[in-house]
Homo-oligomer: A and B are copies of this chain.
Amino acid sequence: MIRLLMIGDIVGRPGRRAVKDNLPGLVQEQSIDFVIANGENAAGGNGITREIARELFACGINVITMGNHVWNKKEIINFIDNEIRLIRPANYPPGTPGKGYGIYNVNNNVRIGVFNLSGRIFMPELDCPFQSAGAILPLLKEKCNIILLDFHAEATSEKIALAYYLDNAISAFCGTHTHVQTADERILPGGTAYITDVGMTGPYESVIGVKKELVIEKFLTQMPRKFEVAAGLYQFNAVRIDIDEETGIAENITRIQNFE
């Protein structure tokens, strides 16, 4: 059995502190074999830098996935092609910097395929995630028994539909992007571990990571506000997934919420 940990969108400094404080202990106490984390908000709330990626890898994260904020820190273009542990949504157009999936070794003898897709409902106009998944899966299945998808999307309908579409073809389907953990974690009929959204790892008293006063003012005035990551105590949101490495079938998915 392989035990994965998927961490929800890490937001800014409080999110990184949450990872540093929680991850090493979790990995040891819960015998985690492999850690994936969504890092699209890791640098100041949006995007990621080389330094911050290194910082996260150093905490024990094995693969960083991204989302609609992937390009917010422009320097990512300089290192994403050389950093195979950092992937971005695979349904960006052909020719986009970086890769949408990777194959990694776990415990030296097991291979895990991780891919990242973005939704299209209420999101930027990317290639169809259903078609993209169909194109990537054969490449991964050829080499890996265990496959995890980070589907970064807004609409619950798109997330659940893609999960059923991929049920049995992948081991784990983790939704991200809304920054709120959902309470619908389960094993789908075909054996895929599922959750609509893993949630956010970032400031607790905030509007999805942002200072609440700024967001309220934005809604009240409809005038532009520069958003800032909220300060204060953090929350750490993740799911732990157990997968049979022979069959790729998930046996368990458990939600994790730690608070500072």
Contacts and interface: CB of A to CB of B under 8 A. Distances in A.
Interface of A: 71-72, 92-96, 120-122, 124-128, 130-131, 154-158, 160-162, 164-165, 178-184, 189, 196-197, 199, 205, 207-208, 210, 212, 215-216, 218-224, 255, 257
Nearest to A255: B183
Contacts of A165: 216, 219-220
Nearest to A164: B212
A224 B215 CA distance: 23
Given A124-B222, A125-B222, A182 B183 contact: yes
25 contacts: A71-B223, A72-B224, A92-B221, A93-B131, A93-B220, A93-B222, A96-B221, A121-B125, A122-B154, A125-B222, A128-B219, A156-B178, A156-B208, A157-B207, A157-B210, A161-B219, A164-B216, A165-B216, A165-B220, A180-B182, A180-B183, A181-B182, A182-B183, A182-B197, A183-B199
